Structures are given as structure tokens and as C-alpha cells.
Amino acid sequence: MIGKLKATASRVTNDALIVYFVARDPNTPLFVRLLALAIAAYAMSPIDLIPDFIPIVGYLDDIILLPLGIMLVIKLTPKNVIEASRSKASEVIAKPVSLVAAAVVIVIWLSCASGFGFLVWNAAAGHS
């Protein structure tokens, strides 16, 4: 069961990346580009149609709407654009993950969190 979920998540991630490249391709019709951008924005948006904290139902919009939107964009996109986008997505996925870059991002986030915590601590100590 977990293996199927991982495979599905991987496929949706790959398809979302394809939609991203479809939206950036100048050979994609304007309507399809706008639809692809809307789907990508919805996928990345912290605001959902149904909030994710609602048990089971909260993830239904992500499980149903995103794959349907991705499928619609792929169906409406010219074949040559889809092939080029799939190729670009494969290249991006095949690139190794940079551990140094990940470490730098983590250090930056931890520094920001520490700085924020320090400000809150000082503000609380000053107003006590």
C-alpha cells in the first residue's frame, strides 16, 4: 500500500513538473498556459478549496482536482510541447540533489527561526 502511494506521489510530482514546463513553453496555446499556471498555483497555494486539516475530506480536493487538472492540461497541449516538457522534467528529476545547497537552506531557516525566537524572547522579557 505504501509503495503504491509513493509511486502515485512520484507520478503526480513528475506530471506537475511537466505542467510547469508546458506553461513556460511559448508554443503552448494561451488558454492552456493560463490553465497550467492556475493548476500550478493551486498546487503550491497554502489555501485549498477544502482545508487539509479536515480529516479525509481535506485531501480529496488535492487527490481529485490536481490530477484532473494535470490530465486536462496534458490533453489540451500539443504533442511536441508535451514531449519537450517530459524531456525537461526527466532531466530535472535525474539531477542529483545537492546536499550542500540543502544544508545552506537549513542553516538559513534555523538562523531566521533563532533570530525570531530571540526577538520574541526579548519582547516578552521587556514587557513582563
DSSP secondary structure, 64-106, as one string:
HHHHHHHHHHHHHS-HHHHHHHHHHHHHHHHSPP-HHHHHHHH
Q: Long-range contacts of range 46-53, CB-CB < 8 Å, 24 or more positions apart?
A: none
Task: Say whether both 91 and 122 belong to one domain.
Answer: no
Task: Say whether both 17 and 60 belong to one domain.
Answer: yes
Specify the pTM: 0.60
Task: Say whether both 108 and 126 belong to one domain.
Answer: yes
Task: Say whether both 102 and 90 belong to one domain.
Answer: no
Residue 31: CB partners within 8 Å, gap ≥ 6? 76
Task: Say whether both 7 and 68 belong to one domain.
Answer: yes
Which sign does the torsion angle of CA 17, 18, 19, 23 carry? positive
Task: Say whether both 90 and 102 belong to one domain.
Answer: no
pLDDT tens for each residue of 36-95: 988 877 776 766 667 767 777 777 777 788 889 999 999 999 999 999 999 998 888 887
Domain that holds residue 25: 2-95
Task: Say whether both 26 and 76 belong to one domain.
Answer: yes
Task: Say whether both 30 and 63 belong to one domain.
Answer: yes
pLDDT tens for each residue of 10-43: 777 788 889 989 999 999 999 999 999 888 777 7
